[in-house]
Amino acid sequence: MINSTLFVLTGILCICEVVVRTSAQNHGNKSEEDAIHFYYYPNPLNSSEREELSLASSSSFKNAKLQRDRHAKIIVHGAGGSCLKLDFPFRAVEAYLRAKASGRENYNVFCLDYGPLGQPGPIPGDGLPSIRKRYEYVGELVSEKATKMILGLKANGFVSDFEQIHIIGHSLGGQISGFIGRKIQEKSNYQNMLGRITGLDIMNIFLVYNNEVHLKNQLDLSDAKFVDIIHTSPIGLRGDYGHVDFYPDGGLHQRSCLTKGPVSNVTEMIIGGCSHVIVGKYWENSIDHPNAIKACKAESWERYESKKKSRECRPDDSITFGEYVPKDTRGKYYLDYPLIKI
């Protein structure tokens, strides 16, 4: 009964995230394309200073205040968000800029903003397949423009290889990151791949309906040379799709979200909204504090609990969680995330 309730409520939340203001008759219009922006942050000491790269201006890339031949961090928010949303991605942008300002890292930082396309609105068509088609449309539209931007970065020497690119996407943004990864491969005749995609509690976009499974547009390990996914809530996709999948606090409900009293806790256990959002804070912390949080390899939460009790989570079984996870990591990892203020 609980699992069924979670499925239904997760579906409702997915509808709210995926559906957009425009109707099916307005698909592909210019105003929707104009709602997509690609920002960069030239000053690591001032996160409020941002500039936009534009495909419409021939001087946009030429005059960009970007370092050449550098790794790129591209952050993609979830539906209903924007690059200015504090929880994610803005605080992650700030964390990357702090790492750059300290001299610890030296990369260019970007944010892909498709804000209006993720606002709740009328459901186009009818039935679950239509919702899935709308999600695919948004993914195609946003990723097409983002891919052109990435190709522009390479053509202008800001990255020398697609392996220098790391995309970090939350919720729907995690799925859009997969679209971008696939388009880079398609446009290079499958000769190139992105270096890394990180999915933060990626949205479960009705992969199952009418007793059929649809995996065509699902982020998975084929979309980049290294794909790491962090699962934190019932809203996010269940299953292991990355080279490495992390499950903080078991991957369904985060302990820090269950500290506000009985009523709030029950709501969180059913819906998981806080657990879905808190992953952005986890990511920010992993940038600010390299190697601070470790995860232990295990096939299940129960096995992880057993390994803890028997002290089997040895150093050779544990790896760094978050931004600095070793790229050769493979498998499922669990951890108890320390309580944090939310």
296: nearest Cα among 226, 249, 228: 249
Q: Which of 113, 201, 223, 249 is catalytic?
A: 201
Cα–Cα distance for residue pair 48/304, rounded to 1 Å: 42
Catalytic residue selected from 71, 166, 243, 276: 276
Q: How confident is the model at residue 1 (pLDDT cuts 50, 70, 90)?
A: very low
Give residue-wise pLDDT tens across range 250-265.
999 999 999 877 777 8
DSSP state, residue 131: H
| Res 269: pLDDT | 87
What mean pLDDT comes out for the span 270-283? Answer: 93
Q: Band of the pLDDT at 30, cuts 50, 70, 90?
A: low
Quote the pLDDT of residue 131. Answer: 63
Whole-number Å distance between alpha carbons of 256 and 249? 10
Is the per-residue pLDDT at 138 higher than 60?
yes
pLDDT confidence of residue 161? 96
Q: What is the pTM of this model?
A: 0.88
Instruction: Give the pLDDT confidence of 62-118 residue by residue, as tens digits.
Output: 999 999 999 999 999 998 899 998 889 999 999 999 999 999 999 999 999 998 886
Which DSSP string do the residues of 65-100 spell out, in sequence order?
---SS-EEEEEE--TT--TT-IIIIIHHHHHHHHHH
Concerning whether 31 is annotated as a catalytic residue, the answer is no
Sketch the domain layout of the chain as residue ranges. 2-293
Look at residue 278 and give its three-state secondary structure: coil
249 catalytic? Reply is no
- Which of the two residues, 26 and 246, has the higher pLDDT score? 246
Confidence of residue 127 (pLDDT cuts 50, 70, 90): low
Asked if pLDDT for residue 206 goes beyond 70, the answer is no
Catalytic site includes residue 177? no
pLDDT of 15 higher than 80 = no
Q: What is the pLDDT of residues 172-182, one digit of tens each?
A: 999 999 999 99
Q: At what angle are helices 2-18 and 128-155 packed, to 10 degrees?
A: 50
Query: 3-state SS string over 161-228?
Result: CHHHEEEEEECHHHHHHHHHHHHHHHHCCCCCCEEEEEEECCECCCCEECCEECCCCCCCCCCEEEEE
Model confidence at 128: pLDDT above 60: no
Among the listed residues 122, 126, 133, the one whose alpha carbon sits nearest the alpha carbon of residue 28: 133
Most confident of 10-19, 261-270, 326-335: 326-335
Q: pLDDT value at position 116?
A: 82
The residue whose two tokens read 């995230």 is: 17
pLDDT value of position 104: 95
pLDDT band at 2 (very low <50, low <70, confident <90, very high): very low
Instruction: Check residue 271 and give its pLDDT.
Output: 82
pLDDT over 90 (residue 316): no
Q: Between 217 and 303, whose confidence is greater?
A: 303
More confident: 133 or 115: 115
Q: How many residues does the chain have?
A: 342
The pairing of beta strand 51-53 with beta strand 71-76? unpaired
Identify the bridge partners of residue 51 per DSSP, sorted by sequence position.
40
One of 3.30.390.30, 3.40.50.300, 3.90.1150.10, 3.40.50.1820 is the CATH number of 2-293, namely: 3.40.50.1820
Catalytic residue among 47, 143, 171, 177: 171
